[in-house]
Amino acid sequence: MVSQDWLVTDDGKCKAWEESAGNLELSIGQYRLYRFLTNLEDILHKFKSDRDRLQAICPLVRQLLTSSEWLQGEYLEPDPETGWSVLTLYDEPDFPLTVQTVAWLPGRVSPIHNHATWGVVALISGEERNTLWRRTGNNGGIEKVGDIILTPGEIITLMPDAIHHVEALGEEPTISFNLYGETNYEQRFQFDPVSGSAKNF
């Protein structure tokens, strides 16, 4: 199983993380979801830069998925019509984080979009192509920058204005653990490269 962590910047460039950013010291033994959420809160207070936050969060996500095996089977079967499913793992009023597992049927492709917040996607099973884009102007125009194919054990982190779309490859559904910060919905867009337009969603 691969264990590489990646960063996608706002301009669509993909870089390998080389080292962690002053991570919190983790306890030895079982690393549970409640402790993970507490550590996330501490990181959000400690680091103001989204890049630094992502760099500090990656090792925690990896430890959570390695230590809490139940998460690897915690997902909903993808809907045959939409081709995907989302299972919220934790939801609390005024808690500015989204924690979920996402499953995609083979061959399904997402719209081209940004998240308008930082994000972390850890691939649990299957194979997923992330096609990366960047803006070409203020009117919603975008151009393709490249692709990265994720395999189980890899983690991709996204800056708030990183633009991508995902495609589930192979014969089996893809399952991922997804974590997002607080979304600025006024800055979240779905892009159409043919018309050069962007719309809120």
Helices 50-67 & 33-46 angle (0-180, nearest 10): 170
- Give pLDDT, residue 22: 47
Q: Calculate the alpha carbon distances from 46 to 67, 95, 117, 193 in Å.
A: 24, 17, 17, 38
- Give pLDDT, residue 179: 97
181/147 Cα distance (integer angstroms): 24
- Give pLDDT, residue 18: 79
Q: Is the pLDDT of residue 2 over 70?
A: no
Q: Tens digit of pLDDT for each residue in 172-189?
A: 999 999 999 988 777 777
Q: Which secondary structure element, helix H or strand E, spans residue 36, and what is its range?
A: helix 33-46
Q: How many domains does the chain have?
A: 1
Q: How would you label 85-118 residue by residue, b for 16+ Cβ within 10 Å and e otherwise?
A: beeebeeeeeeebbbbbbbbbbebebebbbbbbb
Average pLDDT, whole number, for the chain? Answer: 89
- Give pLDDT, residue 184: 75
> Residues 6 or more apart from 112 whose CB is under 8 A from it?
131, 133, 142, 163, 164, 165, 190, 191, 192, 193
Q: Tens digit of pLDDT for each residue in 55-76?
A: 999 999 999 999 988 888 899 9
Domain, as residue range, for 141: 5-200
- Give pLDDT, residue 126: 96
Q: Tens digit of pLDDT for each residue in 18-46?
A: 765 444 555 567 899 999 999 999 999 99
Q: Tens digit of pLDDT for each residue in 156-177?
A: 999 999 999 999 999 999 999 9
Determine the average pLDDT of the residues in 90-116.
92
Q: Tens digit of pLDDT for each residue in 114-141?
A: 898 999 999 999 999 999 999 887 777 8
Tell me, what CATH number does 70's domain have?
Answer: 2.60.120.10
- Give pLDDT, residue 27: 57
3-state secondary structure of 124: strand
